[in-house]
Amino acid sequence: MITAYSGPTKRAAEPDCAAGPWPAHAWRLELKQAVTDIDELQGLLNVDLACANAAPSGCFPLRVPRPYVQRMRRGDPNDPLLRQVLPLAREADAVAGYVADPLEEAAALVAPGAIQKYAGRTLIVASGACAVHCRYCFRRHFPYDGHRQGADFPALAAIRDDPSIREVILSGGDPLLLTDAHLGRLVARISAIEHVSRLRIHTRLPVVIPQRVTAALVDILASARQRVVVVLHFNHGNEIDADCARALRNLGCFTLLNQSVLLRGVNDDADVLRTLCERLFDLGALPYYLHLPDAVAGTAHFDVPERRAIDIHRRLTAQLPGYLVPKLVRETPGAAAKAVVAT
């Protein structure tokens, strides 16, 4: 049954992390049962995906959890959630300027799984796996195998040795795909590094399998000595259903931010983005970045030209208070910070 989000949810005056988490193993079951077969997806959605140019994609195959599929519109090959996960034949086309590593992250690796692009912050590729395979992903060609974080967490050496690092970012892959035990060990090790004062977690799990937000997970994040920021990756208001709302409420004791990618045919519309930003705020998350898509091989069909992006952003700005408008940004390899295209 679809449990579509139907309106603002009143937030408690005091965030209550103990209220409403799921049983410990519910998310693992969803992970195991994710849809990986296009024919099955076609049947579930009652739609002809051949018309949408769906195609098997060997190195980055279809993978989409069922709770996310349940939020897609039946019979609509252009559903904005479906478009984010459906492999298309055109992904194989070579397009000038689209490459495997457009952000040149290979050059920013300072230790296995440790990427340092900006001053004072180090990103750890905490997991090489994701619950969902987003077709627009800028790390879809990342060589995860050489960067695994085993029990010795090799990425941490680069952080311990550099007192200028004040913030650690757990990314991936999706860091919340780590087992609770492994994530707990990682958080404890980061907590022990005195010069680190912020811990940021980037995740799409509360979007696609909100059941991941268990009481144990909340406890692990709350055990960090540092202030914890959870950056969610919602791209469209239709992604937010009652279970996502519940997950965000359970994460309410942390700073919640959201970053989206501006994607052609998904959310390249000021009204769609306004709805997303308002729903996120109702649930305690502030939209902070709207990324122009990176030029990753296989993703050219998502591109939104910059002039059009600025126009969409201008119309969004006209509809919302300033604190609800995400900055429109572009990432340029080697730059000291993301370039703000519009605020």
Distance, CA of 276 to chain centre: 15
For ligand SF4, give the closer residue by CB, 87 or 173.
173
Q: By CB under 6 A, which span of 25-33, 160-168, 172-180, 281-289 interacts with ligand SF4?
A: 172-180
Closest separation in Å from C-beta 63 to ligand SF4 = 8
Closest separation in Å from C-beta 100 to ligand SF4 = 14
Report which of 89, 95, 169, 104 is spatially closest to residue 141, judged by C-alpha positions. Answer: 104
State the amino acid at position 25 in one-letter form.
Answer: H
How is residue 21 annotated by DSSP? P
Report which of 251, 259, 250 is spatially closest to residue 232, judged by C-alpha positions. Answer: 259
Phi, psi (deg, nearest 5) at residue 327: -70, 135
Closest separation in Å from C-beta 139 to ligand SF4 = 5
Question: Does 173 interact with ligand SF4 (rule: CB under 6 A)?
Answer: yes
Widest pairwise Cα distance in the chain: 55
Stretch 118-147 residues interacting with ligand SF4 (CB under 6 A): 130, 132-134, 137, 139
Give the bridge partners for 227, in sequence order. 198
For ligand SF4, give the closer residue by CB, 114 or 130.
130
Report which of 224, 257, 233, 58 is spatially closest to residue 131, judged by C-alpha positions. Answer: 233
Contact pattern from residue 249 through residue 288 relative to ligand SF4, giving x for each residue in contact according to CB under 6 A and a dash for the rest: ----------------------------------------
Total chain residues near ligand SF4 (CB under 6 A) = 10
CB 110 within 8 A of CB 156: no
Closest separation in Å from C-beta 312 to ligand SF4 = 21
For ligand SF4, give the closer residue by CB, 17 or 261.
261
Report which of 4, 136, 19 is spatially closest to residue 70, judged by C-alpha positions. Answer: 4
Stretch 200-229 residues interacting with ligand SF4 (CB under 6 A): 204
Question: Does 174 interact with ligand SF4 (rule: CB under 6 A)?
Answer: yes
Question: Does 117 interact with ligand SF4 (rule: CB under 6 A)?
Answer: no
In the three-class reduction of DSSP (H, G, I as helix; E, B as strand; rest coil), residue 159 is classed as helix
- Positions that interact with ligand SF4 (CB under 6 A): 130, 132-134, 137, 139, 172-174, 204
